[in-house]
């Protein structure tokens, strides 16, 4: 057969309406089969937002610039996105193609915003994975592919930027097939290829070359149509409609990943891409739903993507609009959500969210489509916007009053970059508290912590870019917000044994104060804490005051003896003392105990202890040398390495190490630089060890 161009450049419908105008509004679909929820995934800067805008324009929608709370497209118009010149927020928009409603979810590609990425993947039923025809595949791209693979999401690959100098479709498709196919263990094959002058894309279902054969064989391998296989083996002409039907099945199973070329600058390939979305990617009715249970832990009703089923929806993004207030982007998994109806909000709280679990009935102000058109209802499988859900936060479940459900939340990476902030005045503190509440509602990837040891308010972020976004949001509400150096929770211990005497005697009319005690302080093993031992004989200190001495000692050790650093890992032995039958009291012996521990410290040398964390670092095979070399400069003790994936290019090593916490303050940024953004790590407090001489606390 001779290759024929099945899609040439078509005029962009709707552009005559002019920038800033709606050419046609996307209407909500009444059945799940009439909806496609597609996440746009790719490396930062690969052109995801540009592709979405061109798809909207090509389908006759608006080309108006705006964000999730501002309009029907997803350009990076948020002030923080403009300053960073990258997408940092999940955005949603919609278009109609062949009478199917297509919801497009534009996700950030930068590693700091993986929380937004995973929210977009939760709302999606399939993925368009963008790859540049100019740039080589790197570990960040492979990590993004694995994010999708871990959720078993059907994926199609879009090779973009074919019009750029140095673009090479053949090299890119070979790399994609090798790298992604190996990671997926499935077929990654071209569905079309560009014409020589990039003026059209050429379909391969009717072709006779090697790529056509690879495509058809990959489809037939997943087909349950035995007659189709027989026709192929006999060399008979194949029915294109049967091939497309089996392509849909294979893609939905995640066993085949079709690849399409696109030139966004000339709109070449956009029609074929929209056809693939509608005809080749699964509808919500073909995808499993996230697990759900009742808030008390029982099994919830079986859920299906059925408009007649119980309501089960999830808030996947929360934003604040200056005019309409809080806006929630919601995916409806089951049931039907109607305007002006009550919904029950359930969700997790906890220390980092700053409130108890959610359990309240609320009435949203407005129900909107993603194009900001007021609608009466939205059915299972679709996505919508709700305004002014006062308590609902990202990750919360919306269900029917009287039938509460909790959907399994998507997993979020642990934020490991600490940023300490402070408000200079009481008024600023109030503003900061309100801003933190809004931040917690919108961004579950940030953890808010009041450090018990240092007293600092610490925001744990995913990286520098994430921290910049977080601080920008807070400063909008609290202009005087200050960023402080993160303080480390140092401790101290006695380097050797020491004796101390506390004498608290006062006489000023009436009952006086009289208490004397003698103690011996000795260092103990790491992690043993503070031990108090009573060795008083002969009743030198009455029994009822022994506990008073202990309380005074423990309070003073917790307050600190040098630079306010708490003292730990010591045994304090009470050896002797004196009391007065009238003037001795609980308060007097507490004061004597505190004086005794200070006296012992004055005669001894204190050893500064620094916190040490247990660290597991996950890196690619070819980065392990650089990471190990860097660890040697950070006083880390490597305790072992292990290979956790032996399948290149996805091979990964875990480096187990013990590292001082002071070296981990900026380690998330350092590791990203060493590994091209692909390295990750976890940390957990292990113990306090002696700090090097001259450590500044």
Indicate the class that CATH gives domain 5-210+257-286.
alpha beta
pLDDT for residue 173 is more than 80: yes
Higher-pLDDT residue of 29, 669 = 669
Phi and psi dihedrals of 566, rounded to 5? -60, 150
Question: How high is the mean pLDDT of the chain?
Answer: 85
Q: How much is the CA Rg of the chain, to the nearest whole Å?
A: 32
CB 637 within 8 A of CB 385: no
Rounded to two decimals, the pTM is 0.83
Given a cut of 70, whether residue 649 has pLDDT beyond it is no
Fold of 496-604: Ribosomal Protein S5; domain 2 (3.30.230)
- Checking if the pLDDT of 137 tops 70, the result is yes
Residue appearing with tokens 């497309």: 244
Other Cβ atoms closer than 10 A to 534? 14
Region 373-378: mean pLDDT is: 90
- 177-195 pLDDT, tens digit per residue, is 888 876 656 789 999 999 9
374 CB burial (10 A radius; 0-12, 13-18, 19+): exposed
The H-or-E segment that residue 547 falls in is: helix 543-559
Coil/strand/helix, residue 310: coil
582-618 pLDDT tens trace: 899 999 999 999 999 999 999 898 999 999 999 999 9
pLDDT at 70: 36
Q: What are the domain boundaries of the chain?
A: 5-210+257-286, 304-407, 417-484, 496-604, 609-690
Q: How many residues does the chain have?
A: 697
* Residues 326 and 303 sit within 8 Å (Cβ to Cβ): no
The whole-number pLDDT of residue 240 equals: 86
Which residues contact residue 351 at a Cβ distance below 8 angstroms, ignoring those fewer than 6 apart?
A: 449
Per CATH, the number for 609-690 is 3.30.70.240
Q: Looking at residues 17-40, what average pLDDT do you find?
A: 67
Dist CA 397 CA 117 (whole Å): 19
Distance CA 259, CA 156 (A): 6
The answer to whether the Cα torsion of 59, 65, 71, 73 is positive or negative is: positive
Q: How far is Cα 115 from Cα 465, in angstroms, rounded to an integer?
A: 13
User: Is it true that 417-484 and 609-690 share their CATH fold?
Assistant: yes
Contact 337, 366 (CB under 8 A): no
Average pLDDT over residues 382-408: 89
CATH class held by domain 304-407:
mainly beta
CA pair distance 189, 218, nearest whole angstrom = 8
In this structure, of 15-24, 99-108, 535-544, 667-676, the range with the lowest mean pLDDT score is 15-24
List the single range of 62-66, 114-118, 472-476, 528-532 with lowest mean pLDDT. 62-66
Q: What is the pLDDT of residues 507-529, one digit of tens each?
A: 776 678 999 999 999 999 988 99
pLDDT in tens, 85-105: 556 788 999 999 999 999 999
Instruction: Indicate the class that CATH gives domain 417-484.
Output: alpha beta
Helix (H) or strand (E) holding 39: strand 35-42
């Amino acid at each position: 057969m001779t290759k024929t161009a099945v899609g040439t450049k078509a005029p962009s419908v709707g552009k005559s309406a002019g920038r800033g105008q709606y050419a046609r509004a996307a209407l909500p679909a009444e059945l799940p089969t009439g909806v496609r929820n597609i996440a746009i995934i790719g490396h930062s800067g690969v052109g995801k937002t540009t592709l979405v805008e061109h798809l909207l324009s090509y389908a006759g929608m608006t080309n108006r610039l705006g964000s999730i709370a501002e309009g029907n497209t997803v350009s990076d118009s948020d002030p923080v996105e403009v300053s960073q010149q990258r997408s940092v927020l999940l955005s949603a928009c919609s278009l109609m193609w062949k009478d199917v409603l297509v919801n497009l979810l534009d996700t950030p590609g930068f590693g700091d915003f993986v929380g937004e990425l995973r929210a977009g993947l939760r709302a999606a039923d399939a993925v368009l994975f963008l790859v540049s025809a100019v740039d080589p595949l790197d570990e960040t791209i492979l990590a993004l592919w694995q994010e999708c693979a871990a959720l078993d999401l059907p994926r199609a690959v879009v090779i973009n930027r074919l019009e750029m100098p140095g673009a090479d479709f053949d090299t890119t498709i070979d790399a994609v097939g090798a790298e992604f196919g190996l990671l997926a263990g499935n077929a990654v094959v071209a569905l079309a290829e560009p014409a020589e002058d990039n003026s059209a894309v050429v379909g391969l279902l009717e072709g006779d070359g090697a790529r056509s054969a690879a495509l058809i064989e990959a489809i037939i391998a997943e087909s349950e149509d035995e007659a189709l296989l027989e026709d192929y083996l006999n060399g008979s002409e194949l029915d294109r409609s049967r091939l497309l039907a089996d392509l849909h099945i294979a893609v939905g199973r995640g066993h085949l990943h079709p690849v399409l070329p696109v030139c966004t600058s000339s709109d070449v390939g956009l029609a074929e891409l929209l056809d693939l979305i509608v005809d080749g990617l699964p509808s919500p009715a073909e995808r499993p739903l996230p697990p759900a249970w009742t808030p008390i832990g029982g099994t919830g009703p079986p859920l299906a993507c059925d408009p007649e089923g119980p309501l089960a929806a999830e808030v996947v993004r929360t934003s604040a609009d200056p005019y309409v207030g809080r806006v929630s982007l919601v995916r409806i998994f089951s049931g039907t959500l109607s305007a002006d109806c009550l919904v029950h909000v359930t969700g997790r709280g906890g220390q980092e969210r700053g409130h108890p679990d959610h359990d309240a009935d609320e009435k949203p102000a407005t129900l909107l489509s993603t194009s900001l058109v007021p609608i009466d209802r939205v059915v299972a499988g679709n996505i919508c916007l709700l305004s002014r859900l006062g308590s609902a936060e990202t990750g919360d479940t919306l269900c029917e009053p009287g039938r509460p459900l909790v959907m399994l939340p998507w997993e979020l990476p642990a934020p490991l970059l600490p940023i300490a902030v402070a408000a200079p005045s009481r008024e600023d503190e109030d503003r900061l508290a309100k801003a933190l509440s809004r931040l917690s509602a919108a961004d579950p990837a940030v953890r808010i912590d009041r450090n018990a040891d240092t007293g600092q308010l610490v925001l744990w972020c995913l990286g520098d870019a994430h921290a910049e976004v977080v601080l920008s949001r807070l400063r909008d509400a609290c202009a005087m917000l200050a960023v402080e150096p993160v303080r480390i929770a140092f401790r101290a211990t006695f380097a050797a044994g020491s004796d101390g005497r506390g004498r608290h005697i006062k006489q000023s009319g009436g009952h006086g104060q009289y208490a004397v005690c003698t103690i011996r302080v000795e260092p103990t093993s790491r992690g043993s804490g503070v031990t108090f031992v009573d060795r008083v004989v002969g009743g030198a200190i009455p029994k009822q005051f022994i506990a008073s001495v202990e309380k005074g000692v423990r309070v003073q050790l917790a307050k600190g003896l040098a630079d306010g650093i708490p003292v730990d890992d010591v045994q304090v032995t009470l050896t002797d003392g004196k009391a007065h039958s009238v003037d001795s009291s609980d308060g007097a012996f507490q004061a004597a105990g505190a004086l005794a521990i200070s006296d012992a410290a004055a005669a001894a040398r204190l050893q500064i202890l620094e916190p040490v964390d247990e660290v597991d670092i996950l890196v690619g095979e070819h980065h392990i040398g650089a990471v190990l070399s860097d660890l040697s400069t950070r006083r880390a003790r490597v305790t072992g390495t292990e290979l956790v994936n032996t399948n290149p290019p996805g091979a990964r090593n875990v480096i187990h190490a013990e590292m001082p916490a002071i070296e981990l303050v900026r380690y998330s940024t350092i590791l990203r630089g060493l590994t091209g953004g692909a390295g990750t790590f976890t940390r957990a407090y292990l113990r306090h060890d002696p700090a090097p001489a001259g450590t500044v606390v």
